[in-house]
Amino acid sequence: MKKIAILTSGGDAPGMNAHIRAASRAALSKGLEVVGVIGGYSGLIEGDFIKLGRKETANIIGRGGTILKTSRSKEFFMPGGRAAAAERVREAGIEGIIACGGDGTFHGAHAFWLENKIPIVGTPGTIDNDLYGTHYTIGYDTAINTAAEAIDRIRDTADSHGRVFIVEVMGRHAGFIAMDVGIACGAEYIAIPETITNLDILYQRILKQGKTRRTIIIVGEGDEHGGAAKISELIKEHYEIDAKFTILGHIQRGGSPTVRDRVLASHLGVAAVEALLNGKTDVMIGRQGHEIVYTPLEETWTRQKAIWSYMIELSEILA
């Protein structure tokens, strides 16, 4: 293998730049040529490649977003799009690809490998932390710290006014962000897609606050009730309680990555290059504890990464 490509795809996540830096520097140190793909799979289809040398990856380790840009390419989800991408890759002499993203990215990478037999490995880059095969994903730690800081601010005003606040955090199908942030911010109730949200219990928790009613409820966006706006509406309707709601949204995706994210991104970047050089393909490079673990791409979405059940218990004890 003489030349590899790196791309970022799907929702951006803080730490992706640290990952690009680490993977390209690891590859350069092994004598490989490295290119970055601009705009994820869309750039692969268009053959939009840039050289990644030491200079191009200097001073990016602390930057949020991704210098390579990203996309959710619909075309790449069609066999024709993937065939066009394979042609561009072969023309450019690229012999291995590192695709950093979430389950959508891995679906694409898996199909690309099956159809074209061009080695491709995935690295977990998503704030949702919802990929089986790795304890943490790149971007998760930054996102939960960003969310926690925002919620602490909301608590100040909730406390001053004695109000009920419902705060929605990201996590399309998974409650990892909600659970960790809820515990860290002392939430009175945490609503996540993995458990049934019981509005009567939620109401009891508000009452337990006494006269001030100062309550923080964290809702994962994938909750079965449909998010913070809906839950606030239901509380008003059923219990005649006024609840303000806040959707933290994309603020959770930006910002300078935490040290944990930078280190994880760096470790996985180096491991991804070693994996390609060792002939691995169609796997995700994850980390469990301090160990690098390879999981077939398909398993990262067919097997469910469960929330540690004790966290649910803990949140109830503390509520």
Does position 108 interact with ligand F6P (CB under 6 A)? The reply is no
For residue 139 the two structure tokens come to: 């971007």
* Cα–Cα distance list, 91 to 7, 46, 80, 94, 111 (Å): 17, 12, 17, 8, 20
CA atoms of 168 and 196, how far apart (whole Å): 16
CB of 193 to ligand F6P, least distance (A): 11
Phi and psi at 245, nearest 5°, equal -125, 150
Contact 11, 44 (CB under 8 A): no
CB of 286 to ligand F6P, least distance (A): 17
Nearest partner of 108 among 130, 82, 71, judged by Cα:
82
Q: Which is nearer to ligand F6P, 11 or 133 (CB)?
A: 11
Q: Is 223 a catalytic residue?
A: no
CB of 31 to ligand F6P, least distance (A): 35
Window 192-221: contact mask with ligand F6P (x via CB under 6 A): -----------------------------x
Active-site residue, from 12, 48, 103, 128: 128
CB of 151 to ligand F6P, least distance (A): 16
CA atoms of 164 and 148, how far apart (whole Å): 17
For residue 242 the two structure tokens come to: 């006024």
DSSP codes of every residue in 102-137: SHHHHHHHHHHHHHH---EEEEEB-TT---TT-S--
Does position 253 interact with ligand F6P (CB under 6 A)? The reply is yes
Window 59-98: contact mask with ligand F6P (x via CB under 6 A): -------------x--------------------------
Q: Which is nearer to ligand F6P, 164 or 265 (CB)?
A: 265
- What are the residue numbers of the active site? 128
- For ligand F6P, the binding residues (CB under 6 A) are 11, 72, 102, 126-128, 170-172, 221, 253
